[in-house]
Structures are given as structure tokens and as C-alpha cells.
Structure 1
Amino acid sequence: MKRIGDFFLFCSGAHVPLLRRAPTETNKYGGIGATIFFTGLLAAFSGGYALWSVFGQLWSTLLFGLIWGLMIFNLDRYIVSGMKKRNKFSSEFLMALPRIVLAILIAIVISKPLELQVFGKEIRQELIVMEQQVFKTQEDNVLARYKQRMTELNGEIALLEHGIQTQALRRDTLQKIAQEEADGTGGSRVKNLGPIYKAKKADADSAGMALQKITAENGALIASKRQELAGIDSTFKATVAQLDRTHIDGLASQLDALGHLTERSIPVRWANWFITLLFITIETAPVFVKLISPRGPYDDLLEAHEHAFIIHRKETIEKREREYENRMMVVR
């Protein structure tokens, strides 16, 4: 336990030999050191997971996580150790403000990869939806390139078929009129096959020949246009089949998916904010502990130690200046 306590005192950034002379302060600085250590540990996990989600390589992930954790640990240790108690809260707060802002930024950076892990299941489902939306957009873009020509061909085919149907309806009507003239149910109302019937029968036969002609001509055009339409449809399907269907699973895509989830779901939004606030609280806790705690024996010892160093430095400088002046007087 003593070694663990000594390690946490080292993590706090305090001057351990001076802290030994103020035993009542060890618990406070031990707590600060533990907070700094576990923040660095969480940063290592966070950075490792972020790299793993991008590259998926174990050793590079472990190495980067270790380096990232040590960097955050050292930065936090520097932030806390650089704060001095001067019994003036306003000046201390102004001095601590840049450190607080830096601590908040570090907390946000650390929390994001861990938020991705917490909401991993929901993010994977959202990524599937995003993949489908991307593919649908790509498919619509491909379809837009062929849609105008396909619409034109379908319209032309419908027009040609309508021409055949119109001529067939005309032939059927003329045949019915000729038949009614023959059986006496229409026309002159006289049952005979006389000149009137023959004239109407000739009109019906002429319409039938015209139908055969337009059916042959339009049928050939319809077949040609349907063949062109089938070729366009085949090209469209081949182009769609060649579209990139790569899974979206990168870090940026996961952050984008998390953003979509927080926009749509209030519970996810609040949970996301609480996780971020938790890390901000953890990261800024050592700074605020140093800021709001009263001046203690360690602070007096540290100030006396620094003051003694300043006095020694001034005395050394003054001594060297006097020696220099004496040498200059001897030379003269």
C-alpha cells in the first residue's frame, strides 16, 4: 500500500520530499494523483479503441493507447503541478482558467471513443441505415442517367400500340356495320347482300388491310424500341451491380451515426451529454480541488523552498556582479 501511495503522490505532481514534511497533506495529494492516474488510464483505453475501430491492428492499438495515455497523464500532471496557492482566489482562478479550458478539451477528446463503445449496438444499426441511404442515393443517380430515355421509349411504344388499337377498333366497327346491313338489323333494315352491303363490306376489308399494314409497321418499331429498352435496363442493372457496397464502419462514420442518434433520440442525447460531463468532471476535479482547497502546510513549505531559491539566485548574481566590478577596478 505504501508503494501505491507513493506512486499516487508522484502522479499528483507534488514535490514528494517536501510533502513528507507535511503529512496532513498526503491524503489530498494522493487523491489528486489517483484521479490523474485513472484519467490517463481511461485515455489509454479511449485512444486504443479509437485506433482499433479504424485499423483493427492489435499491436499498433496497444502501442498508440499506451503513448496516448502517458501523454494525457503527463499533461494532467503538469496542469495540476503548475498551480500554486497564493491566498487570492481571483488571481488563482484567472491562473487556473486556461488549465480548466484545456482539461475540458481533454475530457471531450477522451470521452468520444468511449461513447462510441457505450452506444456500439445502436451505432451499428444506424450505420446499416446510413449504408442503405448511401446506396439508394447512388442507385437513384444511376437511374437518373437512363430515366429520360426509358420514359421516351415507353411513351413511343404506348403511342404505337394505341395506333394499332385505334385501327383495330375502326375495322371492328366497320365489320359490325356491314354485318348488320347483311342480316337486316341495321342500315337499310332490309336483309340482303346488295350493293349497300358490298360497299360497307369493302370499307371493312380496307380497314382490315390497313390494320395488317399498321400492325406490321408498328410491331417492328415496337420490337425495336423494346429491344433498346431491354438494353438500357440491362446496362442500368449492370451499373448498379458495380456500385461500391463497402461497409461504412470508420471512426468518422461512427461519430456521424452517433450524431444522428442524438438528434433523433432524447434519451440517447441526455446519456451522451452525461457521459461527456462525467469525463469533464473527472478531468477538472484535480484542478478544482487545488483551486478551492485552503492553503496548507505543503504550500507554505513549497513557497519557502522557492523563495530560498530565488534569494540564492539573487545573491549569486549580486556576488558575481561585485566580483566583476572589483576586477574592473584593479585593471584600471
Structure 2
Amino acid sequence: MNQLTRFFWFCSGANFSILKRTPTESNKYFGIGATVFFTGVLAALAAGYALHTVFQSLLPAVLFGMLWGLMIFNLDRFIVSSMRKKERAWAEWKLAIPRLVLAVLLALVISKPLELKMFEREINRKLDEKKTEFIAQSKANLAKGFPEIQELESRIETLKTEVSEAESFRDQLQKEYDAERFGEKTSGTSGIVGLGTNAKKKEQQLDAAQIALNTLRSRNQVRIDTLEAQIREFMALRQAEFEKQQPGIDGFDGLAARMDGLSALTSESSAMALANIFIMLLFIAIETAPIFVKLISPRGPYDELLELHEEKVKLFKGEKWVIAKGESDARVGYFQDTHFYVTDLKKEKTNRKNRAESDRELANWD
């Protein structure tokens, strides 16, 4: 338990030596550190899921997720540890506003991948609908790119229509022949029962129609088989083009596609939009909780000792500065005094030398 407490103290950015002297502050910084730690854990999970969605590989997702979690943890720890309790509340809030803005931005970044995971089933269904639309659109575009298939199919339908018309003509002759044999009175029959002259004529017409039908059917079937072979060739080319596009359609499962799916779901369903907002607010609350704890908590003994320690450092710095400045001024004064004394000696020696030379020159002239 002691190790766990020290770990969460470290997460809160508290000074151990000062915190040990204020046991009443232990629980507060324990809670702040735990919040910072679990925020980093959530950030690591969110980044890991996002990277797994992008790369579809476990190892890079785990490594980058841990790196991202450590970065968020370090930022949160810095934000919390850099805040100081002041005597005036407005001074604290003024310093906390930039940190709160940064915390909200981090919460939005962390919450989005986890929202995608929470609504994964609904997003998958939306992505399947999108893939189906893409497949239909791709097939429609490919169909426009191969007009030969429609032309060949139209020719096949024309040949089949010819056969159907010939079959209808043969069936009509068959009905007239049967009516003639059985004595049914119609506009085209005599109404006499038996195989008379009219019945034989009808039979000859029926046989000729059957032979023509068989000939037409055989000829058109050959043509149809040829046309269908050509259609299969074009369809094979079209299928090859579709298979080239298929990996792109199947790969429509990235992070941007899922975010687009989530956006579509929230626009279609008010319940999904409300749930999405609540999840976002939850992560914002988690991310900003350490800052608000620091802001709303009263100024405690830890803050007093920390401020005392910082003030002592400032006083020590001032003392060192005064001492260093005094020593520097003394050295400068000594240098100036000694430097000017040496300069005066050099000037006196030069003047004496010049006067001696002048005296010698005057003596030589005399």
C-alpha cells in the first residue's frame, strides 16, 4: 500500500518531502494522482484501438498506444503539478484557464476512438451499407463501360422473339388442325368431323410450320450460343475490372470511414447523438477532474509549505545575488584603483625620461 501511495503521489506531481510532513493532504494527492494515471491508461487504450483500426496490426498499435498514453500522462501530470494555490481565487482561475482548455482538447482527442469502439456494431452495419452502395455503383459504372454486353443481349432477345413468334404460329395451326378434325366450327374451319380435304391442308400447313420452327430454332440457337460466348468474354473482362476495385471497397474500414459512419449515425438518431455527447462530456470531466480538484480544494498545509519553500529559494537567490554583486563591485573597484595607479607610474616614468633627454640635448648645444 505504501508503494501504491508513493506511485500515485508521483502521478500527482507532488513533492514527497513536503507531502510527508502534511499527512492530511495525502488522500487528496492520492486521488489526483490516480485520476491522472487512469486518464493516461484510457488515452493508451484509445490510441491503441485507433492505430489498430488504421494499420490492422497488433504490435504497432500496442507500442504507439503506450507511447501516446505516456505522453498524455506526462502532460496531465505537468498541468496538475504546475498549478499553485493562491490567496486570491481569481488569480488561480486566471492561471488555470489555459490548462483547462488544453485538458478539454486532450479529452476530445482521447474520447473519439473510444466512442468508435463503443458504437462498433452500429458503425459496422453502416459500413456494410456503404460497401453495398459502392458495389452497386461500381457495377453500374462498369456496365456503362461495357455497352457491348447490352447490345449482344438485345440481339439474343430478338432471336428468341423470332422463335417465340414461330412457336405461336405453329400452335395456332395446331389448334386449327385439331378443330378441323373434331368438327369445331370456326372462321377458319369447315365444322366437318374427320380427316377431310381441309384437315389434310391444315396438317400440311402444320408440318411445314413445324419444320420451319425447327430450322429457325436450330439456326437461332447457334447464333445465341455464339452471342452468349461473346457476352461471357465481356463479362469476364468486367469481372476482372470489378475485382480490381474490390480490395478498395473491402478496405473501406479505416479510421476516417468509421468516424464518417459515426457522424452519419448521430445525424440519423437523436439517441445516438445524445449518447455521443454524454460520452464526450464524461471524458472531459475525467480529464479536467484533477484541475478542478486543485481549484476547489482549500489552501492546505502542503500549499503553505510549498510556498514557504519557494519563498526561501527566492530569498536565498536574493542573498546570493547581493553577495555576488558586492564581491563583483569590490573587484571592479580594486581593479580600477590598481589600474589607475600603474598608469600614473608609467606616465611619471615617461615624463622623467623625456625631461632627461631634453636636458642632455640642451647640454650638448651648450
2:209 is matched with which residue? none
Q: Shift of residue 156 of structure 1? A: 9.9
Aligned ranges 1:58-207 → 2 under 5 Å: 58-146=58-146
Alpha carbons of 1:323 and 1:240: their partners in 2 closer, same or farther (altered >3 Å)?
same
- Are 2:245 and 1:243 aligned? yes
Structure 2: gaps of 5 or more residues: 166-219, 337-366
The alignment of Structure 1 onto Structure 2 pairs a total of residues equal to 289
Contact persistence 1:131–1:247 (CA under 8 A) = no
Residues 127-167 of structure 1, C-alpha deviations (whole Å, 9 max, x = no match): 211111222222232233345x77788899999999xx9xx
- Are 2:270 and 1:254 aligned? no
1:184 is matched with which residue? none
Alpha carbons of 1:236 and 1:315: their partners in 2 closer, same or farther (altered >3 Å)?
same
Residues 182-238 of structure 1, C-alpha deviations (whole Å, 9 max, x = no match): xxxxxxxxxxxxxxxxxxxxxxxxxxxxxxxxxxxxx9xx99999988876664454
2:340 is matched with which residue? none
- Are 2:318 and 1:314 aligned? yes
For residues 76 and 32 of structure 2, the distance between their equivalents in structure 1, rounded to whole angstroms, comes to 10
Residues 31-75 of structure 1, C-alpha deviations (whole Å, 9 max, x = no match): 111101111111122222222222233333322222221111111
1:244 counterpart SS class: helix
Give TM-score, length-normalised by structure 1.
0.74
Contact persistence 1:36–1:73 (CA under 8 A) = yes
AA matched with 1:82 = S
For residues 305 and 331 of structure 2, the distance between their equivalents in structure 1, rounded to whole angstroms, comes to 39
2:252 counterpart SS class: coil
1:116 counterpart SS class: helix
Residues 266-317 of structure 1, C-alpha deviations (whole Å, 9 max, x = no match): 2222111111111110000001111122211111111111111011112111
For residues 73 and 144 of structure 2, the distance between their equivalents in structure 1, rounded to whole angstroms, comes to 55
Please give the root-mean-square deviation of Cα atoms over the aligned residues, in Å. Answer: 3.6
Give TM-score, length-normalised by structure 2.
0.67
1:53 is matched with which residue? 53
Alpha carbons of 1:63 and 1:264: their partners in 2 closer, same or farther (altered >3 Å)?
same
AA matched with 1:9 = W
1:243 counterpart SS class: helix
> Which of structures 1 and 2 has the bigger CA Rg?
2
For residues 153 and 140 of structure 1, the distance between their equivalents in structure 2, rounded to whole angstroms, comes to 17
2:347 is matched with which residue? none
Residues 61-95 of structure 1, C-alpha deviations (whole Å, 9 max, x = no match): 32222222111111100001111111222222121
For residues 41 and 250 of structure 1, the distance between their equivalents in structure 2, rounded to whole angstroms, comes to 23
AA matched with 1:318 = V
For residues 139 and 326 of structure 1, the distance between their equivalents in structure 2, rounded to whole angstroms, comes to 93
Aligned ranges 1:236-315 → 2 under 5 Å: 236-245=238-247, 246-315=250-319
For residues 306 and 121 of structure 1, the distance between their equivalents in structure 2, rounded to whole angstroms, comes to 54
AA matched with 1:135 = I
AA matched with 1:311 = L
Residues 93-115 of structure 1, C-alpha deviations (whole Å, 9 max, x = no match): 12111111111111111112211
AA matched with 1:326 = A
For residues 160 and 23 of structure 2, the distance between their equivalents in structure 1, rounded to whole angstroms, comes to 101
2:246 counterpart SS class: coil
Aligned ranges 1:207-218 → 2 under 5 Å: none
Alpha carbons of 1:56 and 1:320: their partners in 2 closer, same or farther (altered >3 Å)?
same
AA matched with 2:38 = F
Identity of aligned residues (%): 45
Alpha carbons of 1:4 and 1:241: their partners in 2 closer, same or farther (altered >3 Å)?
closer
Contact persistence 1:153–1:229 (CA under 8 A) = yes
1:182 is matched with which residue? none
2:245 counterpart SS class: coil
- Are 2:329 and 1:325 aligned? yes
For residues 243 and 329 of structure 1, the distance between their equivalents in structure 2, rounded to whole angstroms, comes to 87
For residues 264 and 130 of structure 1, the distance between their equivalents in structure 2, rounded to whole angstroms, comes to 15
